[in-house]
A and B are shown apart, each in its own frame.
Chain A
Amino acid sequence: MVKFLLEKDTWQEVIDSLSKNKLRSILTMVGVWWGILLLIALLGSAKGIENNFNARFKNYATNSLFIFSGRTSIPFKGYQEGRRIKLNLNDVERIKENISGVEYVVPSIQVQMTLSRNTLTSNFTGRGEFPLLDILAKKDLVWGRNINQQDVDEQKKVIVISDDFYKQLFEKGENPIGKMVKSEKVSFKVIGVFEAVNFGGPQIDFDIPFTTAQQLYNRGNDVDLMMITGNPSFEINQIDADIKLLLKNIHGIHPDDNRALNGFNLGDRFEQLTGFLIGMQFLTWFVGIATLIAGVFAIGGILLISVKERTKEIGVRRALGATPYLIKRQIIVESVSISLISGVLGIISGGLILMLVNKLAAQGEDAFMRNPSVSNGMVLLALIIITVLGTLIGLIPATKATNVKPIDALREE
């Protein structure tokens, strides 16, 4: 077989047969090329979307949840409905003490400020934070550093701002570290810039030390939002339910009241998104394979047209002394070569499309894709698929024509 593949005659026959049957060759090539191109482009794009999700989630502890308060929707224990619930630092301690499986509880205070610098002024929403938050929902820093424990302990007037914030109050390229921004009450020194991530809820444009926010706005023991992480071995949904039950008890909320405490469970969302991703990958494979199958059918149709002509030719060759093995070998080499050539072209053009997609749809912060690409494994798989397809494409007419008596093959008109 190897010797056969190295012989000039073999390839002469292949080239003859392919080039003298141009229409058939071209249609087959287009079919395989298109199928592989779509498969590569689809898989690469799906990978790009997946990469994007992974990049966005990489900074979050996925077994975590946010809780913030709202208003009651059911009257309970003599209270009217519509009562505003206020969470506080005691709740934080109670959760830590009473709920099993809780790892961290990090409170924060929501702050609205009008901030200005030189002549530029803008409204921003931010939070008073503990440094621990960075462990749970890590922000990517463009410049400087995050709030640290010392900032909190000493109630420092320092601020970490988002890149959006930076764009609004600073010149492009200007180093903001050490610069001052003024609020209604005090001036803050900028110590860092982070990349804003929007993750449901209001966008957060700055962080200041928790204690600074507490003192500036007279918030006492108030807590607006808690971020809670669970031990990996605990079910985050169970922790979520336990905490809500505890808080409902403390604050006199009806057990069925779903409005008084809000929040979302990152674990849940992550699961949903992972599910979505898996679904998408599945869909991609499905579409890709369906395309390939459609391609095979298209090629099969072409084959059927050519099969009669081919059958007769094979009959002639058999009359001249070609064994079925020789015939099958020749036709399979022929169809595998044509499939491989068009398949490799498909892989290359699929790759080019991915490069184009990368340029057009995967640049910048808001892009829904990141680095769309296919792995070597995928390419290998595609090549295997092509080879199998090619073998089948050739094997069907070859088997058909060698299984009948030579005279029947010859009689075919």
Chain B
Amino acid sequence: MLEIKELHKSYPIGDSSLHVLKGINLSVKQGEMVAIMGSSGSGKSTLLNIIGMLDQADSGEYILDGLLIKNLTEKKAALYRNKFLGFIFQSFNLINYKNALENVALPLYYQGMKRKDRQELAMFHLEKVGLVDWAHHLPKELSGGQNQRVAIARALAANPKLLLADEPTGALDMNTSYEIMEFIQQLNDEGKTILMVTHEDDIAHMCKRIVRLRDGVIMEDSKIDQVRAKKNV
């Protein structure tokens, strides 16, 4: 699914530069559910953004679904993001003047799908996250958990192969976090590959594998026994 070799990334800060990723090697197979952990500033988000093609590595190799991701034009990158990737952000990143249904339908719009089909499909995904009754509400009329469910529905809408989530439960209380994790686990059960960044141990243990970053390298990478979110609710 995903193959990363000797990935480096640094940010220029004034005259010097901050070396954030210092040779990451990571391989993720189809159907895995990986938690990326590490202290604040260890480069978790940076790594996830590079995987999501929202950012570019300075050096190293990154292969997604057999495709070498290197020096892509913005047009190509947009196309891959649309086809392969679904994003879930800590701050939801919904468009505030669009209602839930329109937000979910947006990736489909960029796929060139017809309006009617789009709305139907979006509704189907909203149903999956249990928000059919809220389809015509604006983000500001929804709770944090509901907004994150809309965001999940949106990430799923285009049927991506890989879901990328940067602290998807970071802005939510425990109960809501577990609700969201339940959805994400369900998606993984259905075969989606999932990569998520998290700070919380309990959330990380709901994945099937934990990767720990420190000082820009992976210092630990282990398979774990998944804790189901359901029984915790």
Instruction: Identify the A interface with B (CB < 8 A).
Output: 8-9, 12, 16-17, 20-21, 312-313, 315-326, 402, 405-407, 410
Quick one: given A8-B115, A319-B81, A321-B110, are A405 and B97 in contact (CB under 8 Å)?
A: no
**Contact A405:B55 (CB < 8 A) given known A313-B95, A316-B95, A320-B81:** yes
Chain B: interface size category: 20 to 34
18 of the cross-chain contacts (CB-CB < 8 Å) are A9-B115, A16-B98, A20-B97, A313-B95, A317-B106, A321-B79, A321-B110, A321-B111, A321-B158, A323-B110, A324-B78, A326-B78, A326-B110, A402-B74, A406-B54, A406-B77, A407-B49, A410-B54
Q: Give the A-binding residues of B (Cβ under 8 A).
A: 49, 52-56, 74-75, 77-79, 81-83, 87, 89, 93-98, 102, 106-107, 109-111, 115, 154, 158
Give complex CA distance A347, B26 in Å: 62
Contacting pair B78 A321 (CB below 8 A): yes
Separation of A324 and B87 alpha carbons in the complex (Å): 19
Pair count A-B, CB < 8 A: 74
Checking A20, A21, A320, A406 against B110 with a beta-carbon cut-off of 8 angstroms, the contacting residue is: A320
Closest to A8 in B: B115
Tell me, in angstroms, the Cα distance from A218 to B215 when the chains sit together: 119
Expressed in whole angstroms, the minimum distance between the Cβ of A199 and any Cβ of chain B is 65
Say yes or no: A320 contacts B107, CB within 8 Å: yes
Q: Is the beta-carbon distance between B87 and A319 smaller than 8 angstroms?
A: yes
The smallest beta-carbon distance between A279 and chain B, in angstroms, is 49
Report A-chain residues with C-beta under 8 Å of the C-beta of B87: 319-320
Complex-state Cα separation, A17 to B95, whole angstroms = 10
Q: Is A322 a contact partner of B97 (Cβ separation < 8 A)?
A: no
- Given known pairs A8-B115, A316-B95, A405-B54, the reply for A325 and B110 (CB within 8 Å) is no
* Assembled-state Cα–Cα distance A176/B49 (Å): 95
CA distance A238 to B81 in the complex (A): 81
Measured CB to CB, the nearest residue on chain B to A413 is: B91
5 additional A-B pairs beyond A320-B87, A405-B54, beta carbons within 8 Å, are A9-B109, A12-B115, A317-B95, A322-B110, A323-B79
Report the separation of the CA atoms of residues A320 and B150 in the bound assembly, to the nearest whole angstrom: 14
Cα distance A36–B93 in the bound complex, in angstroms:
38
Beta-carbon nearest neighbor of A309 in chain B? B96
Q: Which residues of A contact B79 (CB under 8 A)?
A: 321, 323
